Amino acid sequence: MERDHLDLASPGKADHNDIYGSSVASRGDNMKHEPKDSRISSRAVGIGTSNQNHKDVAALAEEEEHNSDDEDNHSEDAQKQLVLYDPAAVGAGEIALDADPVNSQPRRNSFPNYASRILPSVGAFTVQCANCFKWRLIPTKEKYEEIREHILEQPFYCETAHEWRAELSCDDPPDLTQDGSRLWAIDKPNIAQPPPGWERLLRIRGEGGTRFADVYYVAPSGKRLRSMVEVEKYLQEHPDYVAQGVSMSQFSFQIPRPLQDNYVKKRPYRPALAPDENEPVNRITWIADNGDTDLRLGMPGPPLFEPLSQSFKKKRTPSKRMSNADAACKSS
DNA sequence: GCCACCGGTGGC
DNA sequence: GCCACCGGTGGC
């Protein structure tokens, strides 16, 4: 909402953003790049995790913004960028490493398909300087959450770290760089700090699972809440918290996004609708490239003459939901 | 019996 | 594709 003023989020530029880490999963070469010069957009938010031994914790995320001429020469890459990563949706640039390894106890999963293994945990909290683009460690989770809450309106600079590192400047080497030893995840900007006495927990799932992470809120009572619905119910049952000022706006279950793009198992293809002869859907022919699916679904679509840019740009276009049956119909 | 962790589903 | 929600379950 407040993102429009961001330099890096302007629609024109967003399309030209590159994902620096789009092939990060393959390890090696691309992992050793430093954030490149001034073309890197400043405010990626990241979280560092590690599934190593929890002594070299940390995972990182970073974000770059390339000039359009780069992209013009690599349309394939550009395609990938759009699918895999939307820098405009991220906006801010922080990263997190756990500066306190003691806090990141090794966790193990215990599922049939996952021969007991150590799960990643947040290794450190890191934020990228909006000026020099170097990653700076944030000493505590609380400080990180404080910075994250306003990262869009109040970009982070090396000077911001003077609160805990009086001497730090953009001339100092980065606290962290992206290398193969860490899992980087880009956090979402402007997430409210949890209410006093509450804790927001981020649990990284094992690689190859159906999702990257889960967020839990732990109430002062110790109760763990795992969705907005549960929070709402809990607050209704405990009006004392509401009286103290706790409100729904202080909760967000948004999870960071891993830069390793195959960390999460892809969801198998789902037909939009099961083939069903009783449904008129199978008797409707395709008329045009635009709007037909909406007709088929019996739902109003965007006005046919409404430009798909701007207000609809973030929405999926109907044709992407084409089922197998539809595809067969269309091709015949 | 609890609960942390995971998969699945539905919606957009 | 992403997100939100919630049921299931193995290990404790």
Q: Which DSSP string corresponds to A106-119?
A: -EE--BTTB-S-EE
Q: What is the pLDDT of residue A73?
A: 31
Place of tokens 């640039």: A93
Please state whether strand B lies within 7 Å of residue A210 at its CB atom: yes
Q: What is the pLDDT of residue A107?
A: 74
Q: What is the pLDDT of residue A272?
A: 56
Name residues 1-30 of chain A with a Cβ under 7 Å from nucleic strand B: none
Of residues A88 and A158, the one with the higher pLDDT is A158
Please state whether strand C lies within 7 Å of residue A274 at its CB atom: no
Q: What is the pLDDT averaged over residues A93-116? A: 53
Distances (CA, A) of A273 to A43, A240, A322: 40, 46, 9
Q: What is the pLDDT of residue A250?
A: 96
Please state whether strand C lies within 7 Å of residue A257 at its CB atom: yes
Least confident of A80-89, A90-99, A241-250, A252-261: A80-89
Q: What is the pLDDT of residues A52-83, one digit of tens each?
A: 322 222 233 333 323 333 333 332 222 111 11
Please state whether strand C lies within 7 Å of residue A314 at its CB atom: no
Ramachandran region, residue A325 (left: φ > 0; alpha: ψ -120 to 50; beta: rest): alpha
Ramachandran region, residue A153 (left: φ > 0; alpha: ψ -120 to 50; beta: rest): alpha
Handedness of CA A76, A78, A83, A85 (dihedral sign): positive
Least confident of A99-113, A215-229, A291-305, A316-330: A291-305
Q: What is the DSSP code string of A65-133?
A: E--HHHHHT-HHHHHHHHHH--HHHH--BEEEE-S-GGGS--EE--BTTB-S-EEPEEEEEEEE-TTT-
For residue A137, give the nearest of A146, A148, A145, A128 by alpha carbon: A128
Residue % of chain A over a pLDDT of 90: 33
Nucleotide nearest to A270 (CA to C1'): B9
Of residues A224 and A38, the one with the higher pLDDT is A224
CA of A203 to C1' of B2 (A): 19
Q: What is the pLDDT of residue A299?
A: 29
Q: What is the pLDDT of residue A316?
A: 34
Residue A139 pLDDT greater than 50, yes or no = yes
Q: What is the pLDDT of residue A268?
A: 72
Q: What is the pLDDT of residue A183?
A: 86
Q: What is the pLDDT of residue A99?
A: 41
Nucleotide nearest to A232 (CA to C1'): C5
Please state whether strand C lies within 7 Å of residue A55 at its CB atom: no
CA of A16 to C1' of C9 (A): 45
Report which DSSP code applies to A44: B
Please state whether strand C lies within 7 Å of residue A266 at its CB atom: yes
Please state whether strand B lies within 7 Å of residue A54 at its CB atom: no
- Where does the pLDDT of residue A132 fall: very low under 50, low under 70, confident under 90, or very high at 90 and above? very high
Nearby residues of A93 by Cβ (< 8 Å), 6 or more positions away = A41, A42, A43, A44, A45, A46, A62, A63, A127, A128, A130, A133, A151, A156
Q: What is the pLDDT of residues A259-301, one digit of tens each?
A: 888 889 887 776 654 444 444 433 322 222 222 222 222 223 2
Q: What is the pLDDT of residue A148?
A: 93
Q: What is the pLDDT of residues A207-243, one digit of tens each?
A: 889 999 999 999 999 999 999 999 999 999 999 999 9
* Residue A200 CB neighbours (<10 A): 19
Q: What is the pLDDT averaged over residues A165-193? A: 90
Nucleotide nearest to A113 (CA to C1'): B6
Of residues A238 and A12, the one with the higher pLDDT is A238
Q: What is the pLDDT averaged over residues A7-23? A: 23
Mean of per-residue pLDDT scores for chain A? 60
Of residues A47 and A292, the one with the higher pLDDT is A47
Least confident of A56-70, A88-102, A185-199, A226-240: A56-70
Q: What is the C-alpha separation between A24 and A98, in angstroms, rounded?
A: 21
Is residue A214 within a helix (H) or strand (E), and if so which, with residue range?
Answer: strand A213-218
Instruction: Answer yes or no: are the C-beta atoms of A132 and A169 closer than 8 Å.
Output: no
Of residues A302 and A189, the one with the higher pLDDT is A189
